[in-house]
């Protein structure tokens, strides 16, 4: 009896609505519906077994609706990403900074670039090991004329001096090469004077030399009488140069040569 009542209850339930999928393309409104398919769908609907309400399995209609919602959400997300503004709009709040100016600056060649520091397009990049003068070259440069930048500085030298010798006066004997040997000592006398000028540019004066020549032409002694403001270093240097001279043996065995030396700036 219970089974019979259950079968009668099932037969009395209304048929479920047919499951139809929405067409992707818009249907042609002028086309005539297929009359032969309608009875088949109704027959299949009447003969199908109704699903229980609240069953655990998802129906085809619910699965189709959920899939359609997921596709719409995916398309909306892609549209939102494609229509997003500049990258700075995602970082800075609207109204704080004009993001358009920042995007133009980032796209331009000015500012910091890859591989070095770019100074806004003017000048070259600053890189370690680049060609150019270092700090060690600062001391060798000096300011040039207006608008010409810096140039190489010329070395500053002190004044130059000259040593002139008067005629050699020989007494006590005859020395054949006295004048020639005295003329050859001028370069040494001039060097002595220039060393003194490097320390004091106002040095000038005169030295009277008395050179004693021995039997073999050697210099046995030198006396020096300075005048002016010549320092002792010049006097001692001149005497040492005269002491190293070599003359021809004087006739008579001995001779004395008087030589005046004058030191002046050129």
Binned at pLDDT 50, 70 and 90, residue 159 comes out as confident
The fraction of the chain above a pLDDT of 90, given in percent, is 38
Name the residue with higher pLDDT: 29 or 257.
257
Contact 197, 265 (CB under 8 A): yes
Q: What's the CA gap between 75 and 70, in Å, rounded?
A: 9
Tell me the range of 8-12, 83-87, 90-94, 120-124 where mean pLDDT is highest. Answer: 8-12
Give pLDDT, residue 223: 96
The fraction of the chain above a pLDDT of 70, given in percent, is 48
Which burial class, exposed, middle or buried, applies to 173 when counting CB atoms under 10 A from its CB (0-12, 13-18, 19+)? middle
The length of the chain, given as a count of residues: 266
- Enter the CATH code of domain 161-265: 3.30.1150
Distance of CA 88 to the CA centre of its chain: 31
| 40-44, 75-79, 118-122: the lowest-pLDDT one | 40-44
Name the residue with higher pLDDT: 150 or 210.
210
First to last CA, the chain: 151
Give pLDDT, residue 15: 65
Phi, psi of 221, deg, nearest 5: -175, 155
0.75 exceeded by pTM: no
Distance of CA 1 to the CA centre of its chain: 103
Q: Is the pLDDT of residue 1 over 70?
A: no
Q: Mean of the per-residue pLDDT values for the chain?
A: 72
Residue with tokens 């399995």: 57
Residues 6+ apart with CB under 8 A from 17: none
Q: Where are the domains of the chain?
A: 161-265
Per-residue model confidence as pLDDT tens digits over 194-229: 999 999 999 999 999 999 999 999 999 999 999 999
Q: What's the CA gap between 95 and 93, in Å, rounded?
A: 6
């Amino acid at each position: 009896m219970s089974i019979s009542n259950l079968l009668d209850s099932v037969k009395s339930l209304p048929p479920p609505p047919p499951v139809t999928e929405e067409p992707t393309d818009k249907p042609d409104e002028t086309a005539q519906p297929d009359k032969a398919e309608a009875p088949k769908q109704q027959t299949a609907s009447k003969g199908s077994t109704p699903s229980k309400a609240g069953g655990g399995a998802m129906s085809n209609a619910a699965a189709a609706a959920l899939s359609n919602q997921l596709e719409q959400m995916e398309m909306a997300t892609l549209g939102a990403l494609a229509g997003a503004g500049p990258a700075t709009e995602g970082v800075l709040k609207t109204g704080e900074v004009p993001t358009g100016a920042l995007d133009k600056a980032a796209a331009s060649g000015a500012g910091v670039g890859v591989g070095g520091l770019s100074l806004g397009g003017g000048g070259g990049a600053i890189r370690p090991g680049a060609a150019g003068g270092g700090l060690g070259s600062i001391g060798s440069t000096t300011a040039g004329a207006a608008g010409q930048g810096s140039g190489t500085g010329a070395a500053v030298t002190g004044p130059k001096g000259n040593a002139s010798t008067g005629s050699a006066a020989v007494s006590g004997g005859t020395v054949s090469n006295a004048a020639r040997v005295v003329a050859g000592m001028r370069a040494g006398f001039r060097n002595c004077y220039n060393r003194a000028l490097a320390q004091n540019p106002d040095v000038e004066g005169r030295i009277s030399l008395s050179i004693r020549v021995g039997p073999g032409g050697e210099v046995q002694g030198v006396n020096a009488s300075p005048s002016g403001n010549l320092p002792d270093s010049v006097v001692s240097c001149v005497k040492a140069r005269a002491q190293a001279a070599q003359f021809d043996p004087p006739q008579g065995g001995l001779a004395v040569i008087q030589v005046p030396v004058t030191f002046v700036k050129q």
